[in-house]
Amino acid sequence: MFGDLFEEDYSSVSNNNGKGKRLKTKALEPPAPREFTNLSGIRNQGGTCYLNSLLQTLHFTPEFREALFSLGLEELGSLEDKDKPDAKVRIIPLQLQRLFAQLLLLDQEAASTADLTDSFGWTSDEEDFLDLTVAVKNVSGLEDALWNMYVEEEVFDCDNLYHCGNCGRLVKASKSAKLRKLPPFLTISLLRFNFDFVKCERYKETSCYTFPLRINLKPFCEQSELDDLEYMYDLFSVIIHKGGCYGGHYHVYIKDVDHLGNWQFQEDKSKPDVNLEDIQNKEEIDDPLMILKAILLQEESNLIPVDQLGQKLLKKIGISWNKKYRKQYGPLRKFLQLHSQIFMLSSDESTVRLLKDSSLQVESDIQRNDQQLFKTFTSESLKLNDGPSCPHWFDINDSRVQPINEKDIEQQFQGKESAYMLFYRKSQLQRPPEARANPRYKVPCHLLSEMDAANIELQMKRAECDSTNNTVELHLHLGPHYRFFNGALHPVVSQTESMWDLTFDKRKTLGDLRQSIFQLLEFWEGDMVLSVAKFVPAGLHVCQTLNGDDLTLCEIEIADGEDIFVWNGVEIGGIQIPTGSDCEPLLLNVLHVATSSEGEECQQLIESSHVFPSNAEIGSVFTALAIPEGVILINNTESRGEENWTTIPKEDLKKTFREQGLRNGSSVLIQGSNDGNSLLTKQGKWINTVNEINWLQVKNLSQLESEEEQVKISATLNTVVFDIRIKAIKELKLLKELAENSCLRPIDRNGKLLCPVPDRCTLKEAGLKMGSSLGLCPGKAPTSSQLFLFFALGSDVHPGTEMEIIVEETISVRDCLKIMLDKCGLTGDTWHLRKMDWCFEAGEPLCEEDAKLKELMICSGDTLLLIEGKLPPLGFLTVPIWWYQPRGPLHHWKDHQDQTNCTLSQGSVWKASSTPGAPSDAHAEVSLWYLGDLEISEDATLGELKSQAMTLPSLEFSIPSPAFLRAWTVESKRPGRLLRVHQQQLKEYKLGKRTEICLEPLQKEENLGPWDVLLRTQMRLPGERAYGPPVDVLWDTARGWTASSLRQRVADVYSLPVEKIEIAKYFPEKFAWLPVSSWNQQTTKRKKKKKQDNLQGAPYYLKDGDTIGVKNLLVEDNDDFGTVQDDIGREKQKELALGKRKSREALRAQSSDVFSGAETPARARGPEASLSIHVRSFR
């Protein structure tokens, strides 16, 4: 892709003064090069997708493109003179020339139309294209539409005679239309967008409309005596619209007439792989030379990256190079180097090419079976192209260009994504042979020079960016210039002379780095070992020896600014060097009692610095200070101003410094056994016992048998997790190999395993409390650049059923989704991810599929949910639409349904059992029929949403206008919030990505004001525990949400005195009624002031759609508002609550086994305090 970009040697060396790590400034990313299709797209400026599709169509019309290029300075002028007052410059054709030249020659993924659109204003009086507009409605296809327009005649006879202008009489006549002259290019516009005069709304025609790849226009022409070839036209471009009549997106299918692009599919699933059955005998498989040559013969130009060569080898023979050939032939790159007469490696060894002599013919000494194998491999690759006559079609979607098959055009015959414009060219138009696969053909010289210069500049910028992004600064510390003392390495002379700075390409291997250092250090003799070193307060420490010369620096995770120690791997100056993180030197502050000249102890403390290996026993402090015995105390606090000393029991003196949680800068106090406490009271606080809980419980979950299931590990908050894990493995008596592939995971109170804890963290950094339970599990903990995620299928997730995955934090949402689908065994592109929120519910979807998980604040331990359904484009909503019948079909709609014999599709229905007399909002009469999904712009209004919903195929009612529909949001399978303003945009409602909407039919138009509240009132039937049919009541709350106002409004509706009614609000989730009284005023205790009764607040929380029960006190005077169904509902709720309580107790008893061995003292619970939260109402 980058050509010869990587053929330079990026290694350079400098003797830098000073240690400091240099911060690299990331270069500005140049435009991406063209992809495998070798075609350039056009960037979308925002709403320019239709323009981009037209421009690409013109660009892939060679005759138009070459005619444009033929216009020179005389006709168009020069862009350099556009600001001169007297100059005549045609800016648009000049910018169009530059754009076409960029699409042909500039090596970038997508071109920009900013300069072209800025220059708009040029118009042309001539058109090279004839635009035919044809109908789509009630027409099966293009040929049918042309037949109706240009073949069938309209006859004037009987009562519809034609008035002749010559004779002045009514005569019989016929009228028809014909095509008089055919152009070389024909544009046909399909009338997809129409207007429904009955519904008074626009709509898009999505029915099936076919069009041929080749069409004969002879039947539609006035002159038909010419040869049939004169009337033949071939399809070469199809502009496609995706969406509805209120918004959408355009892209184009284009036929590459000149074969300028690379029409090959990256993954051809229909092409079978060559397997072992195709190979005649075992000798053919054992010869890697023959296998590699056969693979390279399949590749274009016989060129392939070395990494992909290994992958294709694995795919072809079912076994990797390392397992099959490495032991006998060595590494793959070395094998290719040894056969330089057949293979040619690039200078950076990233790509390999098959030499021409080897690709044209097989050497005479190769067996006949080799030829048979070549034939087997290459015969499949020839099927990619059917020859020069095979049509090359591409899908150009703004910046993205993908090859497609000609049969894919049939998918655009119908649907929301369907053909919008067709472009045909005469079949007799032939292209000259020199234009084939030649993008420079007839491009003006000045544009060729401009594009060549631009490509050189792009290549330089990419090389600069590539060098910046793929090189690392290494600090080489030379072993002969160091000496080992006081537990660490120190330079003999100075840091400047002991360290060299090396800039190196991180894509090269460790062996290449070693070879480069050998060439730089001419004085070096013997073996050379490279190790990662680390600066610690005690000096330089060797952490890890680098192995694997075939691995790149990226693969062994060499970071920018890494310190590399160069030595023989054994000793420095005759002293053996301890290596590894276990023996990292610790610089400690040691305090001990001063000794007089007579050997007696004084009442004075001396502080000195000492270095100890972190894996040494803490009792070695006595040996270092030549103290026979005593007491060791450590300071647990990191701040020197606040000391808190803890004694080390004698049995813990054999523990290491790391196990005791000591780090660089920690303080250790040594006191003789006969000192007493006098000094401690002066120097700080004495704590003669360890904390009440100083252990962790580790349970064996490694699937390996052990003598004990769980053990207690002594620790402090500063103990490193790595040491706890290693000690647990030892005490559980498990295999030592488990230390390389295991991790510790906290266990919550329900027995669920949480995210693994990194080994490098202390307990305090990991947020673990003393007495916690951990599980020793197989598998490594995620690194600092990785994320440990839980994921589950669907939104109904039961604890403990989630799956687990470790991914890089820089992975995109799209790639993460693909990995999770593969792990679930699912396929398809109709899935998306949602992050589980703190309520353990599916949150907002992760819409930005190209965004990295790190950018979206996804952290380790988060749970992602795989939800079925494809996300809508940016700025669009996918809204499920339901049909809502609050009390069965209204008489108006029922009569109409009987007349038209229409029924609603009840493929998905929410409906309870029918119960007469039950409140309509609670039981059977909340019936929701699923109509379908609408994909609509957030900028569309509520009225437009209703209009589009009326066009859903499953809605077979005839609605006069959108004003006859009432829209609700759906919450908990019930109507929730009322959407009242017809002209308000959907984004102003803050619907969110998961909102569902139900539509309720009305008998008359409704126009709700901002203060109108819609309530459903039901009159209680006297003598029965039941209610009559609901009545919609509009309550004007402009003067307040008071109970007296509501009672007055309800009394007016039922023509009853206000003092003779009683009303109550129904709570369907509780099956309970709450009476609404106007005389139960509340007063505050502090000010004795009346509170304004507001039914929006507690305890009523009145809102649109609530059910209000009405009782006529003239015929019934009791306090009961309930129904029989309410009693049944409350009993069912009690049974459900009892069942849940029993299941929780069983789960608690089961999870208590996790903590059965833990003697954790119970914490005393603090006194409970009341909490008051005031939530205001926002409308």
pLDDT digits (tens, 9 = 90+) for 1041-1057: 888 889 999 999 999 99
Tally of CA atoms within 13 A in the half-sphere of 548 that contains its CB: 11
Sign (positive or negative) of CA dihedral 702, 703, 705, 709:
positive
Contact 645, 633 (CB under 8 A): yes
Nearest CA to 1111 among 1060, 1043, 1053?
Answer: 1060
Using the predicted structure, report yes or no on whether residue 892 has a pLDDT greater than 80.
Answer: no
Q: Please state, in angstroms and rounded to a whole number, the distance separating the CA atoms of residues 989 and 982.
A: 12
Strand partners, 790: 804, 863
Work out the pLDDT band at 187, boundaries 50, 70, 90: very high
DSSP state of 1045: H
Mean pLDDT, the chain, rounded, equals 78
The angle formed by the CA atoms of residues 856, 859 and 864, to the nearest 5 degrees, is 75
Identify which of 1049, 986, 989, 1058 has the alpha carbon closest to the alpha carbon of residue 1013.
1049
Which of the residue ranges 736-745, 751-760, 1027-1036, 1156-1165 would you say has the lowest mean pLDDT? 1156-1165
HSE-CB at 110 with a 13 A cutoff on CA atoms is: 16
**CA atoms within a 13 Å half-sphere pointing along the CA-CB vector of 178:** 9
Q: Which helix (H) or strand (E) holds 1061?
A: strand 1061-1067
Residues 865 and 795: their CA atoms lie apart, in Å, by: 6
- Alpha carbons 384 and 268: distance in angstroms, whole number: 9
The pLDDT tens digits of the residues spanning 667-726 come to: 888 876 654 443 443 333 343 333 445 788 898 888 777 767 888 888 888 888 988 888
Q: Is the pTM of this model over 0.85?
A: no
**Region of poorest pLDDT, from 96-105, 426-435, 662-671:** 662-671
Torsion, Cα of 69, 75, 81, 86 (10° steps): -170
Question: In this predicted structure, what is the pLDDT of residue 1?
Answer: 30
Longest Cα–Cα distance of the chain, Å, equals 150
Q: How confident is the model at residue 1179 (pLDDT cuts 50, 70, 90)?
A: very low
E strand spans, 899-964: 909-910, 927-937
Distance CA 614, CA 612 (A): 6
Whether the CB-CB separation of 935 and 877 falls below 8 Å is answered with yes
Which residue reads 């290719």 in tokens? 336
Question: What pLDDT is attached to residue 438?
Answer: 92
Residue among 474, 544, 460, 462 nearest 506 (CA): 474
- Structure confidence by residue, pLDDT tens digits, 468-516: 788 889 999 988 888 888 889 988 877 777 788 888 888 889 988 988 8
- Check: CB of residue 563 under 8 Å from CB of residue 21: no
Residue 1056 identity (one-letter amino acid): L
In this structure, the number of other CB atoms found within 10 A of the CB of residue 394 comes to 23
Given a cut of 60, whether residue 1176 has pLDDT beyond it is: no
Q: How much of the chain, in percent, has pLDDT values that exceed 70? A: 80
Secondary structure in 3-state letters for 68-125:
HHCCCHHHHCCHHHCCCCCCCCCHHHHHHHHHHHHHHHCCCCEECCHHHHHCCCCCCC
Cα atoms found within 13 Å of the Cα of residue 572, Cβ hemisphere only = 25
Which residues, 6 or more positions from 476, have their beta carbon under 8 angstroms from its beta carbon? 499, 500, 501, 502, 517, 564, 566
Contacts of residue 1084, defined as CB under 8 A and 6 or more positions apart, other chains included, come to 1091
Cβ of 181: how many Cβ atoms within 10 Å? 8
Q: Which residues contact 1151 (CB under 8 A, 6 or more apart)?
A: 749, 750, 751
Burial of 1085 (0-12, 13-18, 19+ CB in 10 A): exposed
The residues carrying an active-site annotation are 49, 249
In this structure, the chain runs to a length of: 1179
Which tokens belong to 87?
Answer: 């100059």
Per-residue pLDDT, 919? 57
Report the range of poorest mean pLDDT among 19-28, 292-301, 420-429.
Answer: 19-28
Residues 577 and 490: their CA atoms lie apart, in Å, by 12
Question: Are 842 and 865 spatial neighbours (Cβ–Cβ below 8 Å)?
Answer: yes
Give 519-548 as a 3 state SS string: HHCCCCCCCCEEEEEEEECCEEEEEEECCC
pLDDT tens, position by position, 76-104: 888 877 777 777 778 888 889 899 999 99
Least confident of 125-129, 546-550, 819-823, 1135-1139: 125-129
Give the start-end residues of each E strand in 270-404.
303-305, 343-345, 351-354, 393-397, 400-404
pLDDT above 50 for 264: yes
Alpha-carbon distance of 665 to 533, in angstroms, equals: 20
pLDDT score of 602: 56
pLDDT for residue 189: 92
Task: Residue 475: name the closest of 23, 26, 25, 18 by CA.
Answer: 18
Query: Residue 62's pLDDT band (boundaries 50, 70, 90)?
Result: very high
Residue 188, token pair as written in the block = 């046909």
* Residue 425 tokens, joined: 């060219």
Question: So what's the pLDDT on residue 909?
Answer: 56
The two structure tokens encoding residue 322? 């390392």
8-17, 492-501, 858-867, range with greatest mean pLDDT: 858-867
pLDDT at 993 over 60: yes
pLDDT of 382 reads 33
Tell me: pLDDT of 854 over 50.
yes
For the chain, the first-to-last Cα distance in angstroms comes to 57
The pLDDT score that the predictor gives to residue 182 is 87
Residue 1083: what are its φ and ψ, rounded to 5°? -125, 145
In this prediction, residues 201-228 reach a mean pLDDT of 89
Q: At residue 1118, does pLDDT exceed 50?
A: yes
**Distance separating alpha carbons of residues 944 and 36, to the nearest angstrom:** 43
Distance set, CA 1133 to CA 796, 915, 918 (Å): 21, 18, 17
- Both tokens of residue 1057? 């005195």
| 337 Cβ contact list (under 8 Å, min separation 6) | 345
Q: Is the pLDDT of residue 230 over 60?
A: yes
Q: 683: left (phi > 0), else alpha (psi -120 to 50), else beta? A: alpha
Predicted confidence at residue 517, as pLDDT, reads 87
Q: Which amino acid is at 353?
A: R
Run of H or E including 144: helix 142-150
Task: Give the integer Cα–Cα distance in Å for 1115 and 746.
Answer: 67
Confidence category of residue 213, pLDDT binned at 50, 70, 90: very high
Give the pLDDT band (50/70/90) at residue 857: confident
* Other CB atoms within 10 Å distance of the CB of residue 839: 7
234-248, 585-599, 934-948: range with lowest mean pLDDT = 585-599
Whether the pLDDT of residue 237 is over 90: the answer is yes
More confident call, 406 vs 308? 406
Return the number of other C-beta atoms located less than 10 Å from residue 480's C-beta. Answer: 15
Choose among 802, 750, 741, 749: nearest CA to 777.
741
List the single range of 75-89, 123-137, 439-453, 484-498 with lowest mean pLDDT: 123-137
